[in-house]
Amino acid sequence: MPGFKLKLGTRASALALAQTKTVAEKIRMTDPSIDVEIIAISTEGDRDQQSPLSQIGGTGVFIKALENALLEKHIDAAVHSAKDLPSSLDERFQLSAAIENDPREDILISPKSLSVDELPPSTVIGSGSPRRASQILYHRHDLIFKDIRGNIETRLRKLDSGDFDAIILARAAFSRLNMNRDFRIIPENISLPAPGQGIICVETLKNNKEANELSNQINDHPTYLILIAERSMLKTLGVGCGLPVAGIARIENGKMSMRGRILNLQGTKLVEHQTEGAPEDAEETGRKLGTLLKPAAEELLG
């Protein structure tokens, strides 16, 4: 598409901009003649840094402004952290690309670089994620969680000022921002990632042929299938990733395996299931796992 100009929309945070630059670079590598413009858009989730996400609409508050920009043709494609997306999209939109995923674990950051098991009783941990809080409380009921909002830099300042004894973040975010800070990886048996965590995705309008073709050229197909499976699990459960729902899919040796987990908000009950299937049957594999977990979701989250 010589001379074509592609407008990429993104949230204005340092992390979101870094992710969008990665997408822009991949597009330019595919076709150097394409003029890629990055447009930062303020979302409600970014403007309100105080209220818990559950009170202002959940993770969807990070994408509504970007989807409006797509509809109004201010941008051609929106770049998201996949875990910020609701489990179902409006029929006018589609996920047209997924970028190779970074490490997907959660990490713990504390002044002494302690692991979860090394934290003293009554340690105050900052996290805005019920999924993280519930899982770690299930493992260590003697810890205390308090809600924290803001970008990574803001959260680190709150940690350094003593507002919290430790904070939990996604390892992928640290990787993308090249943060120079000691951290401890939280094992999956303690904290399973959120569906979509660590994956960058591109959203477009279904009828934007040029944007869809360009996005398809940078799509990493195995990562895309993993994302489809994880989102299918969430959709089957009928819940968003703002609740204590965790899940991860992997493709190894020609097979897709999935592990999913449901907890109550107090972190006193946990149900986990696993399943597998062919990678090309990603949606069905995710649906199968969601079906296995659904009775627990109705019991623990209903």
Give start and end residues of each alpha helix (H) in 72-164: 130-139, 152-160
CA-to-CA dists, residue 110 to 134, 173, 197, 299, angstroms: 19, 17, 22, 35
Bridge partners (DSSP) of residue 109 are 167
Give the residue among 104, 60, 59, 96 at the shortest CA–CA distance from 79. Answer: 96
CA 3 from chain center: how many Å? 33
Give the residue among 196, 290, 276, 300 at the shortest CA–CA distance from 238. Answer: 290
- How far, in Å, CA of 223 to CA of 49, rounded? 31
Q: Which residues are catalytic?
A: 84
- How far, in Å, CA of 290 to CA of 273, rounded? 9
Strands (E) located in 136-282: 144-146, 166-170, 184-186, 200-205, 245-252, 255-263, 270-277
- How far, in Å, CA of 276 to CA of 286, rounded? 9
